[in-house]
Amino acid sequence: MSLKCLAKKRLQSVLTKSLASSAKEQGLVDMTEKLKKIVPDITDQYTQFKVDTPYLEANVRNMHAFQISLISRIVDEFEKLTIVDIGDSSGTHLQYILGLYSKDKDIKCLSGNLDKEAVDKIKKKGLEATHARAEDLHEYNIYADVFLCFEMLEHLMNPCAFLHDLSTKTNAKYLIVTIPYLNRSRVGLHHLRKKNNRKVYAENTHIFELSPEDWKLLIKHSGWNVEYEQIYLQYPKRNLYLLTKPLWKRKDFEGFYGLILKRDQTYSSRYADW
């Protein structure tokens, strides 16, 4: 094994332990175990790469547990519930939701994605999916009580217009969002920073990587109010794995920012040019 491969393997081992410690500290272990029983194999979670190492498995499992924990905060408000997962890459979250809640509730789930391969993958699992841009879903007469928007806003050309369309052209009560957590806002477009001329896709291209405070400004401007917010960190705060914080900032993200949003056009209605 080359020194480069050995160094990568050791780094991933350290980060995997950081993730395990983080999950324990942030109360995600029980949810992670429940979700594993519902969907044991997440190898094909994404179109562009496979979840095929212990590091990637821990990384994605923790993230899923965080995201589903946000849904669990509002699901009991509904007896009958329609959930639409926007930008869904595999139907995994809908499988989780049906596995956790369909015994006690009347739940309908639907996915929407611009990636035809992802849509086909979801349909093969027996789930409903629509091949459409996130910004255009309202044109398909898709009705939802809750929209899910996981790791998607940062990929959009115009997140304000997208959020405003969901606020004004749907009757959804909630929009649940997760996005990368950064202390300071920046433009993504990392392939341009690296002067890489390769072809890129919406799924693997971040455009806006904003701080929580800046996201909240855009959210209010676009017709939503923050009902709940939480930051999930990929490292713990109370043991030695806190030292992995700079590694996470360099390799991936410190964590992810989750929000439960409720439609509120107090501020968006004051903007004359919508």
pLDDT tens readout for residues 136-149 = 766 777 788 999 99
Question: What residues contact 219, with CB distance under 8 A and at least 6 apart?
Answer: 163, 225, 226, 259, 261
Whole-number pLDDT of residue 261:
98
What the block records as the tokens of 133 is 């841009």
Cα–Cα distance between 71 and 176 in angstroms, integer?
A: 7
Query: What tokens does 155 get?
Result: 């990929």
Summary count for the chain: helices (H), strands (E): 9, 9
pLDDT value of residue 135: 58
* pLDDT of amino acid 203: 72
Domain 11-270 has CATH 3.40.50.150: yes
Question: What pLDDT score was predicted for residue 147?
Answer: 94
260 token code pair: 């439960």
* Regions of the chain where pLDDT drops below 70: 1, 134-135, 137-138
pLDDT tens digits, 172-196: 999 999 999 999 999 988 888 888 8
The 8-class DSSP code of residue 153 comes to G
